[in-house]
Structure 1
């Protein structure tokens, strides 16, 4: 019985330490295609790529990183302003709070990032 338990533990050990961070080749190909279509600034190509791969905009665009930049920033840095405008509602923003008190100074701005 002890021998059977040891064999089972050895056989199941690789499953316990598997990494879920690695992405499948199909997923990587899909995301690369979305990044390329976003950099093209062609709304026809961008829309057809999203339809072809059935991309959920609310789930993908806030999390997609292309070349170590957010997808919105990646589109802007490649001159794809129409693509960036299309996905802007799906990107995370920045909240700025101005302190309104008796001794309010216009230069005093408290920025909150979440």
Structure 2
């Protein structure tokens, strides 16, 4: 019985490590090229990079992280406002909840952002 538990644990461990395998090098180079377009505010370079690398904007942009920031925030922090504006529809939004029961007094209104 102990051998069966040990064998099962080994199989599950190997499956877990395979699931966290490194990214395909060609995909990584394509995403690095997209991140590099966020360093400049050149729309034609951005469009060419997206087209040449066959990037699915709806799939990639909500999840793409460049130097620890979302691609949208990365572009904004590097002054690429035109590119940030172009990808804004693909960025995840924020949600705000306001307590409407407290609308009579402005002192007690609460807002929650997450």
State the 1:40 CA deviation.
1.3
TM-score by length of 1: 0.77
| Cα distance in structure 1, aligned partners of 2:53 and 2:107 | 48
Cα gap change, 1:75 to 1:19, in 2 (>3 Å): same
Residue 38 of structure 2 aligns to a residue in which SS? helix
State the 1:104 CA deviation.
4.1
| Cα distance in structure 1, aligned partners of 2:47 and 2:108 | 42
TM-score by length of 2: 0.77
**Runs of 4+ off more than 3 Å:** none
Task: Name structure 2 gaps, 5 residues minimum.
Answer: 1-6
Cα gap change, 1:20 to 1:86, in 2 (>3 Å): same
Aligned length in residues: 102
Task: Name structure 1 gaps, 5 residues minimum.
Answer: 1-8
